[in-house]
Amino acid sequence: MNKVVANAEESCKGIEDGMTLMLGGFGLCGIPENSIAQLVKLGVKDLTCISNNAGVDDFGLGLLLQKKQIRKMVSSYVGENDEFERQMLSGELEVDLIPQGSLAERCRAGGAGIPAFFTPAGFGTEVAEGKEIREFNGKPHILEMALTADFAIVKAWKGDTEGNLIYNATARNFNPMMAMAGKITIAEVEELVPAGSLDPNEIHTPGIFVQRIFKGDHFEKRIEQRTVRQK
């Protein structure tokens, strides 16, 4: 199977209106920005996007929100995007807010073939409404369902032609879990190397989970909030 595609345009073929997408990243760190830009160009709409957050107003998933291409966001933290807030409060955007650890585990469970699991996170809050509750070791837990997607789109530092991926430091974040949970997984990488070039002990995502891989042509290292000391 030849997994290498020329660019984001080729990698995103088959993504259609109404699909569910997982998108790696935490804030603006480790987001598949080339693929997101291509989704904006495609104009696909009514998307359900599973991502830790929605980027900022003019970058990351914020670009899709500007074009009203997202119908529902499944997220954990959304505090840096004014357009997200506006759409959520106006009822234009359906939002499912999930504790961050639960979101990560629901993605991991989806990739591992585990349909559901119990967790204490969220008990006693709106998160638990309508969910089964069981007691373990004297503590109430809520049942959370695994998450999967039609396409998972991730960003890695290095990848080889077989789809094996290495992430850079904290840019690993949600990418490995989501790479496992997509029916089709797209990986955009900063460096694309021949098969056999990567040390097997350093690979974070085995190539068996990746169906398409390409070398991105533009990566912007943004900082969401720059904090500096006063002199």
Whether residue 116 contacts residue 109, with contact meaning beta carbons closer than 8 Å, is answered with yes
Rounded CA separation 124/130 (Å): 12
Q: What is the pLDDT of residues 81-128, one digit of tens each?
A: 899 999 999 999 999 999 999 999 999 999 999 999 999 999 999 999
pLDDT for res 227:
83
What is the largest distance, in Å, between two alpha-carbon atoms of the chain? 57
Token output for 204: 């974070």
Residue at 77: amino acid letter = Y
Q: What is the pLDDT of residues 18-30, one digit of tens each?
A: 999 999 999 899 9
Of 11-20, 54-63, 134-143, the one with minimum mean pLDDT is: 54-63
Q: What is the pLDDT of residues 180-194, one digit of tens each?
A: 999 999 999 999 999
**CB contact burial 67-79 (16+ within 10 A = b; e otherwise):** eebbeebbbbbbe
Output Rg (C-alpha) for the chain, integer angstroms: 18
Is the pLDDT confidence value at 223 over 80?
no
Local confidence band at 229 (pLDDT 50, 70, 90 cut-offs): confident
Mean pLDDT for the chain overall: 95
Sketch out the chain's domains with CATH numbers.
Answer: 8-116+147-215 (3.40.1080.10)
